[in-house]
Amino acid sequence: MIEFLSEYGLFLAKAVTIVVAIIMIISVAAATAQSRQRRDHKGEIQVIPLNEFYEELRDALRHSILDKDELKEIEKAHKKEEKAKKKLKEEPRKKRVFVLDFDGDVKASGVEEFANEITAVLTMAEKQDEVVLRLESPGGQVHSYGLASSQLERFRQKEIPLTVCVDKVAASGGYMMACTANKILAAPFAILGSIGVVAELPNFNRILKKYDVDYDIYTAGEFKRTVTMLGENTEDGKKKFVEEIEETHVLFKDLIKRNRPQLDVDAVSTGEHWYGSQCVEKGLVDAIQTSDDYLYEVSKDCDIYEVSYEIKRSMADRLGFAMEGALTRAITRVLGTLQSRGKNLV
């Protein structure tokens, strides 16, 4: 019996290894395909009218709560309103609100699709319209988020009002994007701020020296390489590296000053973050309101369109991403189980 269980366990381990290997291969292939599709711009703009969504929610609730007579009265009033509109010789066009989403990672890797969405909106939006960005990002690489914020400034250049809604987090590079808006709204417990620059770099030079391993760097230019992970970092190199970080911080603050001149930037550029309700007092945001509430309110008088740029994926790509997602969820469940039993892995 023990021998059988041993062989079965070995077989199971091999099977799991093979399955994991196959999933990893498919995932890599899918990621490569996605990268190729991005380069080839094989995507399309998706537009969803949100007014219809709100109307469906309202109608579903009405039919569940109101009786037939009440529904008839509402329908009669609606027809009367529509008839009155038709009598008008020329009804003015409603304000259009274009809704975008940006869920940023460390590399702001969705910036290419985001740029396409902005370009699409700019082909239709006019000064009387509005763009609403639902933003979520803890920040990341300076150059990536600098590009993302530059994309948003295109609305400023065209004098198209931009409202940024932060329901969860817009910190560091996320706030760099948010500050380009004419108006920033935040949920009460959303996290914003973190106006600063940080760089962390381990150095293994002493370990290399311990085992008599030389690491040579050859450069042309005194500060072509300031600090490294393996070389011996000099005081001049460290000083120059800090100077570069401080220069980046100054550029960050200048961007905020340009877009939010009423804000005391020096008082909030300490690298700290605050909750939404605190941010109103400090001038980091203009009001406390969730994106859902804001969009529902404007839907009463405006035509709202959710705009996104979707990459076309083949069946193989979708299968690869589905298997990758299943593997990720399985690993997450295992880690959660172990942590709940007191076996913390991090």
Tell me the catalytic residues: 172, 224
Q: Write the DSSP string, 276-319.
A: HHHHHHHTS-SEE--HHHHHHHHHTTEEEEEEEEEE---HHHHH
Residue found by looking up tokens 């899918």 in the block: 30
Count of CB atoms situated within 10 Å of the CB of 169: 23
Tokens of 149: 């914020």
Give the separation between CA 39 and CA 279, rounded to whole angstroms. 39
DSSP strand pairing (191-193 vs 273-275): antiparallel
Q: How far is CA 211 from the centre of its chain?
A: 44
Q: If we measure between CA atoms, which residue out of 202, 192, 207, 203 comes closest to residue 288?
A: 192
- For residue 229, give the DSSP letter: S
Residue found by looking up tokens 């804000």 in the block: 263
- For residue 192, give the DSSP letter: E
Count of CB atoms situated within 10 Å of the CB of 51: 15
